[in-house]
């Protein structure tokens, strides 16, 4: 999953989480970015898919530049711990979560509702 989605998942406090540190893993993969319109009635929600190609081009260039910057910093001797600060939220990560059956049922009830805004919140 991406760092952005893992931040949403970690909000569920009844679980224990272990996220693999980007200090120890190569960070050169990103999740595809899905742009959506802003929901008109819910400021925390999103609407339909945003279909303007120019916006996707800007996002792709920005993500590419962030990864190039990260690799350059590492090549120049900057520590992984500090160089990773330039990585975008769409950077892939590995997240493990454990919880009891009651926590899992509650989590699934919340995240499978039709009002979940993005694929990561489902």
113 has pLDDT over 80: no
Task: Kindly state the average pLDDT of the residues 70-83.
Answer: 94
Distance (Å, whole) CA 33 – CA 95: 19
pTM, entire model:
0.72
- Rg of the chain over all Cα atoms, to the nearest angstrom: 17
Tens digit of pLDDT for each residue in 44-66?
Answer: 778 888 888 999 999 999 999 99
Render the burial of 18-46: b for 16+ CB within 10 Å, e for the rest: ebeebeeeebeebbebeeeeeeeeeeeeb
Which of 13, 36, 40, 111 is an active site residue? 111
- Active-site residue flag, 111: yes
Tens digit of pLDDT for each residue in 1-48?
Answer: 788 888 888 888 889 998 877 776 666 788 888 898 888 887 777 888
Q: How many CB atoms lie within 10 A of CB 109?
A: 9
For residues 23 and 80, the model is more confident at: 80
> Given this model, what pLDDT does residue 58 score?
95
């Amino acid at each position: 999953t991406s760092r952005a989605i893992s931040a949403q998942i970690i909000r569920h406090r009844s679980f224990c989480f272990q996220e693999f540190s980007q200090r120890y893993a190569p960070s050169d993969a990103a999740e595809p970015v899905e742009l959506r319109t802003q929901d008109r009635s819910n400021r925390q929600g999103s609407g339909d898919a945003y279909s303007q190609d120019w916006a996707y081009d800007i996002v792709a260039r920005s993500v590419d530049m962030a990864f190039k910057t990260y690799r350059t910093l590492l090549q120049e001797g900057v520590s992984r711990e500090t160089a990773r600060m330039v990585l975008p939220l769409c950077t892939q990560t590995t997240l493990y979560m454990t919880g009891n059956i009651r926590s899992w049922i509650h989590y699934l009830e919340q995240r499978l509702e039709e009002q979940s805004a993005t694929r990561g919140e489902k």
